[in-house]
Structure formats: structure tokens, C-alpha cells
């Protein structure tokens, strides 16, 4: 028997893959979504207990499923996010094959795609890669030299302070996850040692409004990557740290230091029982604050140009300065019993045997459309705009991909077979 054939196979059943399915169904294009685990599983299995959104609820705008709750300017907690996603899953009712890993995708001599999985083989005219870009946790090789009695976990495995053994905790990395996990441990009463990275930060509220509201009015979230000053380089940027916890607030590492958290520069090595850090703490804190003040200054300029009546401008001034750059920490004397690695993830597209990658091994595309006919990406950070990897912008990207499939790239034979031609013409 020949392998089952679909016009489109979508790899990944997160919000991106389900959004693509939504628009494919609107265009009456037959398809299959293949998910390695369960749909939207990362939100259920890779978030800590106090996790909440860092962008306001009104930005949750999955296709056909906007936020309709009573607190549009609040920040949904983990259980609320899962409930929101469950509603989306029910609405889309996508044709999904769960617990199935895609092991290889290759184009055959006829231009179709052979899709090998752990549950059989399929063919497709088009493949949409919607598996995101956060696949393999980054853990340095020095982790192998830590004593066996020290518990090591990655940020996606952290749940709460009580799940870690008693004692101090070393958190490595100060991006969104690292800063929020360090705060969670700090608020629980744990002694926290934080190896600060180069992540920027931003204010939660400024001049009477959430900073996200100001930036939305300034059309920042509509800026395509091609218009960004950094162009594609913005995709390498670390996200700003801020939190929606307890109604939303800044995360100020300097304040944590005043309250007893130990801050260090970038973790570089473990030698003779001592952790060694780069002497860059002051520079990292200053750079994060510079970004914070620059964002606020851009809002000041917008307010002035628009003649908006708003509370007066302000500038953040450091609450604490490191008196000396501590470059070593005795691991045993510090009482560290656990390490939480929060230095990100790397993508793994090794299963995609199609020439769509650049010299760095990253997908090469323009708004998710690759140079190889029939291969697309969706759900990647800054795929098109800031919101591409988030609830706020994935719908626009998914619709664009499906529109590309509709405007002449679905084989006429497939369209005729599945009566999708009229729907595609109507959407084009």
C-alpha cells in the first residue's frame, strides 16, 4: 500500500501548528498535524507553578480565539493559560497525530515530500515546520564536573522551591526564565546566587500605562524584521526580563541584591571546587538599565509628538552598585545544593533533509517562506514581527503561509481532488 498523502503536513502541534490548521480548514485544504507529544504540551509540562504571561492578556489573539476574559490588562497564570489553550484546541479541532515524532523529511524526484515518522510514513505536497525554535536545552560541559550531590535542572524542569533540596541555589542566566525563577526562589526565602547574563530589561508600567500598551500604540509590534535596525540579527537577541506576577511589576536585580541575593557576572568555569565568574556584573547591570531607560525615552518622545496628557517622565537610577566584582565562589562553603540552568535552548532541525538553512544552521526564509517550494516555517521568534513566536502575532504569520499555499502552490491535482480551489481563490 502507498503511504497516506496529504496536501499539507504540519510538524508541531503548538499554537503555531494549530493556527496553521485553522486557516487550512478555512481554505478546505486537507492536512495532518504531527505532534511529538500532545498539542500545546510545553505550556503544560515545561512551566513552573507560579508562571504567568509577561504580556497583557489582550495580546492573546490566536485565530478565531481572542481573549474574552474580565481582565484584558492582567496576566494569565499557568492554569488560566492552559484553559485558554484548551478553548482554542476545541475550536480548531485539528486533524492531529499525537505522540509521533517526525524523523526525516526529504523531497522526492517528483517534488513531493516524503515524511518519515515513528508511526509510519506519509507524503505531502507541502510541509509547514511549526515546531518552534526551542528544542534542546543548553547546558555547558562544566556541568559534568559539578559534584554528584548537587541537583542540576534546566529551566523547563523547574516547578517550585520546595521541589529542590534544602540549601542555596545557583541560577545561571538572567533572561526571562532565569530572572523570574531567581525571583520565585528569592520570594520563597531561599538563598540565591545569580550568574547574570547580558539580557536587557524593561519597565512594566511607565507614565500611567503598561509599556506594552505604549509600544503597541507606537506600532512597534507591527514592525517587520526587514525594517528593524538589526534586521535578522534581532532574532539572536535575548528577551527583556519583566514579570506579570502579582499584577505585573519590574524585575530589578539590584533590588534583589539589597535584599540578600548574591549577584555575579557570567559563569565561566569550575576549578578546584570554585565557581569562576567573568568580571562583567557591573557592565551587565548597566546595559540592562540603559535599555530600560532607552525604551522609556522612546515612549517620552511618542507622548510629546502626539501631545498626550500623561504623568511626568522619569529615569531609573541604580538602587545598588557592586562594590567589587566577585570572580570566585567556593562551591562547598556557599551551601549550594542545586543549580538551575537558564541559558536557553538551541533548535534541532536535523530531521529536515531539505536545503533551507543558512551557514549558521538556522532556517533561511522571508516571512516563513523558504526558497525551496513547499517548505515553510511558522512560530519562530521574529519570523516576521516581534509577536511571531507569541500569541499576539502567530495568527498573522499562519494566515500568510496558508495564503502562499493557496496562491498557486498547492498542486492543481490536490486542489481538484479536495475541492479546495474555490476557497483558496476566495482567500487569495
Task: Judge whether 216 and 386 are in contact, CB under 8 Å.
Answer: no
Task: Judge whether 417 and 41 are in contact, CB under 8 Å.
Answer: no
What is the DSSP track for 300-325?
HHHHHHHT---PPP-----S---SS-
Is the torsion defined by CA of 27, 32, 35, 40 positive or negative? Answer: positive
Report d(CA 141, CA 125) in Å as an integer: 41
Instruction: Write down the pLDDT at residue 239.
Output: 86
Do 5-135+347-427 and 138-341 fold alike per CATH?
Answer: yes
Evaluate if residue 320 carries a pLDDT over 80. yes
Evaluate if residue 208 carries a pLDDT over 60. yes
pLDDT digits (tens, 9 = 90+) for 398-412: 999 999 999 854 443
Q: State the burial class of residue 260 (Cβ atoms within 10 Å of its Cβ: 0-12, 13-18, 19+).
A: exposed
**Is 138-341 CATH 3.50.50.60?**
yes
State the pTM of this model: 0.92
pLDDT digits (tens, 9 = 90+) for 352-371: 999 999 988 889 999 999 99
Q: Are strands 274-277 and 328-330 parallel, antiparallel or unpaired?
A: antiparallel
Q: State the burial class of residue 107 (Cβ atoms within 10 Å of its Cβ: 0-12, 13-18, 19+).
A: middle
Instruction: Write down the pLDDT at residue 428.
Output: 34
What residues contact residue 60 under an 8 Å CB cut-off, 6+ apart?
53, 66, 67, 76, 84, 391, 392
Each domain of the chain, given as residue ranges in start order, spans 5-135+347-427, 138-341
pLDDT digits (tens, 9 = 90+) for 118-177: 999 999 999 999 998 777 888 999 999 999 999 999 999 999 999 999 999 999 999 999
Task: Judge whether 218 and 212 are in contact, CB under 8 Å.
Answer: no
In degrees and rounded to multiples of 5, residue 252 shows phi and psi of: -115, 105
Q: What is the CATH number of domain 5-135+347-427?
A: 3.50.50.60
Report d(CA 320, CA 347) in Å as an integer: 37
Amino acid at each position: 500500500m502507498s503511504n497516506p498523502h496529504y496536501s499539507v503536513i504540519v510538524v508541531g502541534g503548538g499554537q503555531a501548528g494549530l493556527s496553521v490548521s485553522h486557516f487550512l480548514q478555512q481554505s478546505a485544504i486537507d492536512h495532518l498535524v504531527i505532534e511529538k507529544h500532545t498539542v500545546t504540551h510545553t505550556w503544560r509540562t515545561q512551566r513552573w507553578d507560579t508562571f504567568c504571561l509577561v504580556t497583557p492578556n489582550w495580546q492573546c489573539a490566536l485565530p478565531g480565539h481572542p481573549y474574552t476574559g474580565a481582565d484584558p490588562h492582567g496576566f494569565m497564570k499557568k492554569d488560566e493559560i492552559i484553559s485558554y489553550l484548551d478553548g482554542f484546541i476545541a475550536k480548531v479541532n485539528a486533524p492531529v497525530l499525537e505522540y509521533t515524532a517526525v524523523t526525516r523529511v526529504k523531497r522526492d524526484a517528483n517534488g513531493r515530500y516524503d515524511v518519515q515518522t515513528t508511526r509510519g510514513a506519509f507524503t505531502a505536497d507541502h510541509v509547514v515546520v511549526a515546531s518552534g525554535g526551542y528544542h534542546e536545552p543548553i547546558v555547558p560541559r562544566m556541568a559534568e564536573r559539578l559534584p554528584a550531590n548537587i541537583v542540576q535542572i534546566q529551566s523547563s524542569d523547574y516547578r517550585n522551591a520546595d521541589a529542590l533540596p534544602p540549601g542555596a541555589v545557583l541560577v545561571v542566566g538572567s533572561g526571562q526564565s532565569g530572572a523570574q525563577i531567581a525571583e520565585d526562589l528569592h520570594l520563597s526565602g531561599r538563598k540565591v546566587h545569580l550568574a547574570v547574563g547580558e539580557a536587557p530589561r524593561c519597565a512594566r508600567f511607565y507614565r500611567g500605562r503598561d509599556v506594552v500598551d505604549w509600544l503597541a500604540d507606537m506600532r512597534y509590534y507591527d514592525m517587520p524584521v526587514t525594517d528593524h535596525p538589526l534586521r535578522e540579527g534581532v532574532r539572536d537577541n535575548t528577551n527583556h526580563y519583566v514579570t506579570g506576577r502579582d499584577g505585573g511589576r519590574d524585575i530589578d536585580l539590584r533590588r534583589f541584591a539589597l535584599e540578600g541575593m548574591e549577584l555575579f557576572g557570567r559563569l565561566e568555569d569550575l576549578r578546584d571546587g570554585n565557581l569562576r565568574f567573568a568580571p562583567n556584573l557591573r557592565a551587565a547591570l548597566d546595559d540592562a538599565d540603559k535599555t530600560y531607560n532607552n525604551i522609556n525615552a522612546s515612549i517620552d518622545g511618542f507622548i510629546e509628538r502626539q501631545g498626550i496628557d500623561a504623568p511626568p517622565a522619569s529615569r531609573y537610577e541604580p538602587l545598588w552598585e557592586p562594590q567589587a566584582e566577585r570572580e570566585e565562589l567556593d562551591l562547598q562553603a556557599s551551601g549550594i545544593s542545586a543549580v538551575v540552568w537558564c541559558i536557553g535552548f538551541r533548535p534541532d532541525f536535523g530531521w529536515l533533509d531539505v536545503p533551507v538553512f543558512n551557514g549558521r544552521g538556522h532556517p533561511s526564509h522571508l516571512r516563513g517562506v523558504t526558497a525551496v517550494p513547499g517548505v515553510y516555517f511558522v512560530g519562530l521568534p521574529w519570523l516576521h514581527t516581534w509577536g511571531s513566536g507569541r500569541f499576539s502575532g502567530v495568527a498573522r504569520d499562519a494566515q500568510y503561509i496558508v495564503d502562499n499555499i493557496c496562491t498557486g502552490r498547492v498542486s492543481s491535482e490536490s486542489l481538484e481532488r479536495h475541492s479546495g480551489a474555490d476557497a483558496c481563490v476566495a482567500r487569495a
